[in-house]
Amino acid sequence: LEKVLEMEEKPTRRRVVLVPVPAQGHITPMMQLAKALHSKGFSITVAQTKFNYFIPSDDFSDFQFVTIPESLPESDFDDLRPILFLLKLNKECQMSFKDCLGHLLVQQGNEISCVIYDEFMYFAGDAAKEFKLPNVIFSTTNATTFVCRSVFEKLYANNVLAPLKDSKGQQDELVPEFHPLRYKDFPVSCWATLESILELYRNTVDERAASAVIINTASCLESSSLSWLQQERLVIPVYPIGPLHIVASAPTSLLEENKSCIEWLNKQKVNSVIYISLGSLALMEVNEVMQTASGLDSSNQHFLWVIRPGSICDSEWIECLHEEFLKMVSRRGYIVKWAPQKEVLAHPAVGAFWSHCGWNSTLESLGEGVPMICRPFSTDQKVNARYLECVWKVGIQVEGELNIGGVEKAVKRLMVDEEGEEMRERAFSLKEKLIASVTSGGSSHKSLEEFVHFLRTLKR
């Protein structure tokens, strides 16, 4: 009897199971979310696959990490490219995650109150549904991309997206009702067919089994897309709770950060350096690297350049580049394999960010008031670039084939011309708005509080 009483008196601690996509740009916001929820009193379990396995530092010592068993070859992550890899991973993990979740439920019983999964790990939603466990979709990209994905099937069926197959022609035209997005800005990938993209998006935006959607964005950035999602598309609540990197920072880098670049930045003048990084997946051809380096050189600006190993096609690192490249770097540049990006963007010497416009990089740059040169590669990056240039007006997009003149012009517009100064001012005011949104009384702050309340009151 004593034991029963003891059990009755003990309040059940609430645990959430988080399922990130195994890629840097998805693990980071998921771990930031985990930190935020942990600080609100939730216990955390992170379920991950062997791909890009996140090895937690002491900052995560209170968290439980479990592995979802699967038997895909290690090479699939690189060989298949994101869309096909995700389709395969979801099929592969369908059963094994069910077993994994079943074990967790046996171990932890009523403690588990919810599964929160990256929008692309939809197998986790299916498994949660089987156990009648509430589940929440976490979108680590932005709300506008979510909108595009959610209408993709309809537009595709009505042949509205036919121009996407067109290599030139209508690519520059605006997509009806999606201004300012042009066909070429629509979030599709050059590495997959429209049919594979359709299959992925159909599952990604299938919210029928979910209890809510959380998005790493703020209403000051995307109010109309957020309203549309909530009013026209989703019957479940949408919580814009970002930018999460300001809410809860935590070390989440999969690669070792080279901090020597901060010492180099310390020696540079205010707003005099352009920071170049293309995130964790984008690739460049040798010729593009050379054109960019020459354009930077002729613009006379200093630059800090992240060249990730394997990011130049057919090369381990920079050994394929001509001697001329190293000469240009030694004149005004500094190269690292991986940088402490948030620290770099916060450094006063950094005046602009040449970026592939991944959503995390975009939020990190906006959060520090740094204007951007946009060179998107794929999917949501194209939407982000278009918004940076045409909606928030804090970026310049470099389109088409890269050439020295084009690079030099873009760099000078941002680093030298008055136009750049105006963009910097706008970026600064956006920074203030973003900080206000995650501070007490701000929209994302309120949204996170509401989401936490929602999680606490969820019933199984």
Site for ligand UDP (CB under 6 A): which residue of 15, 21, 22, 25? 25
Site for ligand UDP (CB under 6 A): which residue of 17, 18, 21, 28? 28
Count CB atoms within 10 A of the CB of residue 99.
12
268 binds ligand UDP (CB under 6 A): no
Which residue's CB is nearer to ligand UDP, number 150 or number 360?
360
Which residue's CB is nearer to ligand UDP, number 25 or number 333?
25
CB under 8 A, 24+ apart: contacts of 226-234: 226/143, 228/147, 229/143, 229/146, 229/147, 229/150, 233/147, 233/150, 234/207
Give me the 287-326 binding string for ligand UDP, x by CB under 6 A, dash otherwise: -------------------x--------------------
Catalytic annotation, residues = 26, 118
**Nearest distance, CB of residue 344 and ligand UDP, angstroms:** 8
Which residue's CB is nearer to ligand UDP, number 104 or number 143?
143
- Give the C-alpha distances (Å, rounded to integers) separating 207 from 188, 211, 226: 21, 8, 16
Q: List, in sequence order, every beta strand (DSSP E) within 173-313.
A: 212-215, 238-240, 273-277, 302-306
Report the candidate in 212, 40, 196, 37 with the shortest Cα–Cα distance to residue 119.
Answer: 212
Three-state DSSP state, 230: helix
What's 51's DSSP letter?
A: T
| Residue type at 101 in one-letter notation | L
Q: Kindly tell me the number of DSSP H helices and DSSP E strands found in the chain.
A: 17, 13
145 binds ligand UDP (CB under 6 A): no
Instruction: Point out which span in 18-26, 182-190, 311-319, 411-419 binds ligand UDP (CB under 6 A).
Output: 18-26
Q: What is the CA radius of gyration of the chain?
A: 22
Site for ligand UDP (CB under 6 A): which residue of 45, 145, 219, 360? 360
368 binds ligand UDP (CB under 6 A): no
216 binds ligand UDP (CB under 6 A): no
Q: List, in sequence order, every beta strand (DSSP E) within 220-261.
A: 238-240
Site for ligand UDP (CB under 6 A): which residue of 96, 196, 253, 298? 253
Report the candidate in 24, 67, 40 with the shortest Cα–Cα distance to residue 16.
Answer: 40
Give me the 323-352 binding string for ligand UDP, x by CB under 6 A, dash otherwise: ---------------xx-xx----------
364 binds ligand UDP (CB under 6 A): yes
* Number of residues forming the site for ligand UDP (CB under 6 A): 20
281 binds ligand UDP (CB under 6 A): yes
444 binds ligand UDP (CB under 6 A): no
Residue 27 burial by Cβ neighbours in a 10 Å radius (0-12, 13-18, 19+)? buried
Binding site for ligand UDP (CB under 6 A): 23-25, 28, 253, 277, 279-282, 306, 338-339, 341-342, 358-361, 364
